[in-house]
Amino acid sequence: MKELHLICNAHLDPVWQWDWNEGATAALATFYSAAEIADEYDYIFCHNEALLYEYIEEYDPKLFARIQELVKAGKWHIMGGWYVQPDCNLPSGEGFVRQIESGLRYFKEKFNQRPKVAVNFDSFGHTQGLVQILNKCGYEGYIFCRPMDWIFDLPKMVFNWIGFDGSTVKAARFEDQTIYCSELGNAVNAIKRKMQPWEKEEIAFALWGVGNHGGGASRRDLTDIKGFTAEQQANGVTVLHSTPEAFFKKVMPEVEFDAALQPCFIKCYTSIARLKRKFAELENKLLRTEKICSYADKEGVYSYDLEAFFEAQKNLAAIQFHDVLSGTCIIEGEKSSLQKAEYALELLDKQFTKAFMALCGGYEKAKPGDYPIFVYNPNPDGEEQIVNGEFFMLDPICSETEGYEFVIRKNGEEIVPYQKIKESSCINLDRSERLAIKTTLNPLSITRFDVEVHKGKRVYIDKTSPAELENANHAKVGFNLQDGCLNSYMVGGKEYLSGSAFTPVVFDDNPDPWGWHMKKLGSNYRKTATKTAVRVIERGDLLTSVESIYDTGKSDVRVAYTFYKDFDYVDVTVNVFWNDEGKGLKLEIPVQEIGRFIGQTAFGTQEYGQETEECSQRFVGVEAGDKVLAVFKDGTYGCSIEDGKLYLSLLNGSVYCAHPVGELPIIDETRSNRYIDLGRHEFTFRLEVCKESELEKKAAAFTQKPYALNFYPHGDGVKKEESPVHISAENVSLSTLRKVDEDTYMVRLVNNYKEGVDCVCSVFGKSISLSFGKYEVKTLLYKNGELREHDSMLNL
C-alpha cells in the first residue's frame, strides 16, 4: 500500500431506535462538535444526507452558517449528496431519482456543492438498477458496506459495477467489524485493522469516526492519527485526511461485477407491511399527480405549484430511509413516518383535485337528472378496461323489488356497458351507486360519461358458487369449492396452475425484523382452514367476484377473486385481520411450469434464484414457455419460489427493532412485546399471462389506476381531451411527465426489456425519434416548444 485515504464520518440514522426529533438533536450535537474540532485540527469532516443539514439550518442557523464557511475552506466535505441513505431495494427507479434530486438540489442551493461519489454505508443490499441511475445522475463512484463479506462474495473490494443496460460505475465495498465506524478514542487501532484487507492494493481508504448515533471525530483520535500518519510515512505509506472523490480519482478497477448486490437481510422486504404499502401509494400518487398537473398547466387551466411537489418529494425521500422503509425502526418511527407520508399525500391530493376540476370545467353542463362522471387516465395507452365510478343519488329507493337502472353515454353519444357493484357505503338503500364501466379511455387525459337514471327492478346477485368460469376470450378459471381457492387458470388453452392458488399459508417466525443469518422466510408452513363457504359477491355482464374467508384460530383472512367476461386477468384482494404473534402470512401459488423466476426492480427486470427470499417491486413472474405467468402487486415486495410454488410474503412475525445480539435471546420473553404487523391489512394483486416485454406497462396500469369523480361542469372553460404524450413502441413505458422549472417539462421513458427498440415519442405535439438499448432509460426535456433528449436524469 502506498496511499491511505482516511474518510472521517459520523453515521447518523435520523430515525431508528429513536424517532426523527431525537435524530435531529444527535445531528445538532455531532455537527457542532465537528465544527469545533475543525478549528483546532487539520482534518476533513465528511457528511451526507441533506435532511440532517436541513435540521441544522432550521434549529441552529448560526451553526449552519459556520458549516457553510468550513465547506468553502475545504475542511467540511459534502459527501454522497442524497437526501437520506435509503433502502436500496424497494424504491422504484423514479423513486431513487427523486431521492438523489432532493439532496443535490439542496446542496447546490445551500453550499454550491455537487458530490460525485454516492455513499450508502448502511443500506441493506443494492439493486443492480442503481448503476444506470448513478451513471445518468452524474456519479462516478459508489461506496457501500452491506451485504457484508460473510453474506456475499465479491471478486475484489473495488470493481466496475455493470448495470442492466451495460452502463458502469466504479464501486467499493468497505468491509470491517465496525463497518463505517470506529470506537471513541480507538480510531487508530480500528484504522490499522481496516488497512489489512488492502495490503496488496496501491490505494486504500478507511472509514472512521464515532457513529450509530453520531459523534464523528474526537480530539484524542485526531491526536493519535497525527502520530500514526508519521509512523506510516516512515513505512512508505502516505496517509491523507480525504474524501470519497479523492479516493476514486486514484483507483482504476481491474474487475467487473454484473449482478445485484443482494440479498442482505431478507425479512426487510416484508417488515412493517403497512408502511411499505403507504410508501407505494405515495410513489404512485406523486407520479400520477405530476402527470395531470403538467397537462393542465401546459393547457393553461392550472398553475403548477413546484414548491408543493418538491415538499411532497422530500417526504417521499425521507421515508425511503433504510431503517424505515426496510421495517427495522421502533413503533414511534413507524407512526411518524406514516404521518410524513399522509402529509405528502394531502399536498398531492390538493394539487390533483385543482388540476382535475380545471380540466373538467370546460365541458358542457349536465342534462337535468344526469350524473356526469369524469375519468382521468394516468397512462398513455387507450386500451379497453373496466373503470369504477361512484355517485350519490338524489332520491333513495327503499324497496325489495324496485331499484335504479342506468344508460351510460361516453362523450355524450356512445352507450357503454356497465354493471352495478357494491358501493363503499353499507346503508341498504339504492342511493349510493357504484358502477363498473367497460370502456376505452382517452390516454393521459379526461373522458366524460353521463349516467341517465331510470327506475326499474332491484337486481339480486345469483350467489350460486361457480366451479368454473369462462370468458369471451376463452380464458377459464376454476374454483376449489372446498378450500375456496383458485385451482385452475387457463389462457389460450394452456393451464398455468398446478393446484390451489392464493392459498393463505401461515408460518412460524422469529422476532428479528432484519432476518439476520436467514435465507428463507419462515418455517413450518401450514394452510389455514376455510371458515365460511365460498360465496359469490358480484355477478353480472362484466365481471364475477367470489370471496372466501379463512380462520387461523386467532386471525381472519379474506381472499376475493374478480374474473372479467372480456379480459383474461384475475384481480385478487386480500383482507387480513392479523392477531397471530410471532407468525407470518404468505400466499401460495402452485405453478404448472417453472422457467426463469423474474421480478421488477428499479428500471430493470431481475432474475432470481430459487429456495431463497427475494425482493421484487410491482411485478413478479415465472417464465412458462414464451409467456410469463405474472403477479402484479402494489406495495408487497417479498417473494420466493419453493418446491414448484410461487410465494408472496404478506406479513412476518417480527417485533419492533428486535436486533439479535450475540447469544442473548432476541427479545425479553418475560414481558409483552409489540409485534409489528398485528391489525388490519389489505393487499391487491392481479394474475395475468403476458409477454415479458409487456410487464412494465401492465404493472403501471395496475398500480396507477384511472381516477373517477362525479363532477358537474359549468361549461365556461375549454374542453381538453388530447393526450400530452404519445409513444409508438409497445415496449416503451412512461415513467414520468412533470414540470421541473418555470418553462420546462420532463418526460422519462423506460425500455424494461432485454432487447432494444426504436420509438417515436411526441410531447405536447413535438416529436422525436429515439433508439433504446436493452433496459435503457431516456429523459426528454420540453422547453419553449422544443423537445430534446437530455443526457442526465436530473434537471438541476
Do the Cβ atoms of 331 and 267 come closer than 8 Å? no
The share of the chain scoring above pLDDT 90, in percent, equals 87
pLDDT at 530 over 80: no
The share of the chain scoring above pLDDT 70, in percent, equals 99
Question: What is the chain's mean pLDDT, rounded?
Answer: 95
Q: Average pLDDT of 689-697?
A: 97
Report the predicted TM-score, pTM, of the whole model to 2 decimal places: 0.96
The pLDDT of residue 626 is 94
Which residues touch 684 (CB under 8 Å, ≥6 apart)? 571, 572, 573, 574, 633, 634
Q: Which residue shows C-alpha cell 431521492?
A: 99
Q: Average pLDDT of 693-721?
A: 90
Residue 557 vs residues 268, 502, 533: alpha-carbon distances, Å: 23, 11, 13
Asked whether the bond before 263 is cis by omega within 30 degrees of 0, the reply is yes
Q: Average pLDDT of 720-738?
A: 93
Do the Cβ atoms of 243 and 41 come closer than 8 Å? no
The pLDDT of residue 323 is 97
In sign, the C-alpha dihedral spanning 472, 473, 474, 476 is negative
Give the model's confidence band at 616: pLDDT under 50 very low, under 70 low, under 90 confident, else very high: very high
pLDDT at 175 over 90: no
DSSP per residue, 160-219: EEEPTTS-EEEEEE---TTTT---TT-HHHHHHHHHGGGTT-SEEEEEESB-SS--B--H
Q: Edge-to-edge strand order for the sheet containing 503-508?
A: 523-527, 503-508, 583-590, 645-651, 638-642, 614-615
The pLDDT of residue 717 is 62
pLDDT at 190 over 70: yes
pLDDT at 528 over 90: no
The pLDDT of residue 718 is 63
Do the Cβ atoms of 404 and 430 come closer than 8 Å? yes
pLDDT at 136 over 90: yes
Per-residue pLDDT of 645-662, as tens digits, reads 999 999 999 999 999 998
Q: Contacts by 181-186 with C-beta closer than 8 Å and gap 24+?
A: 181/11, 181/207, 181/208, 181/209, 181/210, 181/211, 181/212, 182/208, 182/209, 182/210, 182/221, 183/210, 184/210, 184/215, 184/218, 184/221, 185/218, 185/220, 185/221, 186/221
Q: How many whole angstroms separate alpha carbon 751 and alpha carbon 775? A: 5
The pLDDT of residue 28 is 97
Q: How many whole angstroms separate alpha carbon 143 and alpha carbon 180? A: 11
- Nearest Cα neighbor of 724 from 98, 305, 293 is 293
Q: Average pLDDT of 77-95?
A: 98
Give the model's confidence band at 41: pLDDT under 50 very low, under 70 low, under 90 confident, else very high: very high
Give the model's confidence band at 142: pLDDT under 50 very low, under 70 low, under 90 confident, else very high: very high
Per-residue pLDDT of 578-587, as tens digits, reads 999 999 999 9
pLDDT at 524 over 80: yes
Q: Average pLDDT of 116-128?
A: 97
pLDDT at 739 over 90: yes
Q: How many whole angstroms separate alpha carbon 589 and alpha carbon 632? A: 13
pLDDT at 390 over 80: yes
- Nearest Cα neighbor of 546 from 562, 565, 531, 557 is 562
Residue 484 vs residues 195, 412, 478, 481, 588: alpha-carbon distances, Å: 60, 42, 10, 5, 13
Per-residue pLDDT of 537-594, as tens digits, reads 999 999 999 999 999 989 999 999 999 999 999 999 999 999 999 999 999 999 999 9
pLDDT at 667 over 70: yes
Q: How many whole angstroms separate alpha carbon 66 and alpha carbon 47? A: 15
Burial (Cβ within 10 Å: 0-12, 13-18, ≥19) of residue 746: buried
Q: Average pLDDT of 447-475?
A: 89
Which residues touch 670 (CB under 8 Å, ≥6 apart)? none
Give the model's confidence band at 163: pLDDT under 50 very low, under 70 low, under 90 confident, else very high: very high
Give the model's confidence band at 232: pLDDT under 50 very low, under 70 low, under 90 confident, else very high: very high
Give the model's confidence band at 719: pLDDT under 50 very low, under 70 low, under 90 confident, else very high: low
Give the model's confidence band at 409: pLDDT under 50 very low, under 70 low, under 90 confident, else very high: very high
pLDDT at 433 over 80: yes
pLDDT at 459 over 90: no
Q: Average pLDDT of 603-628?
A: 95
Q: Which three cell numbers stand for residue 594?
A: 417453472
pLDDT at 683 over 90: yes
pLDDT at 720 over 80: no
Q: How many whole angstroms separate alpha carbon 61 and alpha carbon 66? A: 9
The pLDDT of residue 1 is 84
Q: Which three cell numbers stand for residue 150?
A: 460473510
The pLDDT of residue 458 is 85
Q: How many whole angstroms separate alpha carbon 70 and alpha carbon 343? A: 35
pLDDT at 359 over 80: yes
What's the full length of the chain, in residues?
796
The pLDDT of residue 722 is 85
Give the model's confidence band at 516: pLDDT under 50 very low, under 70 low, under 90 confident, else very high: very high
Per-residue pLDDT of 267-281, as tens digits, reads 999 999 999 999 999
Q: How many whole angstroms separate alpha carbon 598 and alpha carbon 620? A: 6
Give the model's confidence band at 428: pLDDT under 50 very low, under 70 low, under 90 confident, else very high: confident
Q: Average pLDDT of 142-161?
A: 93
Residue 501 vs residues 549, 559, 692, 693: alpha-carbon distances, Å: 15, 11, 21, 25
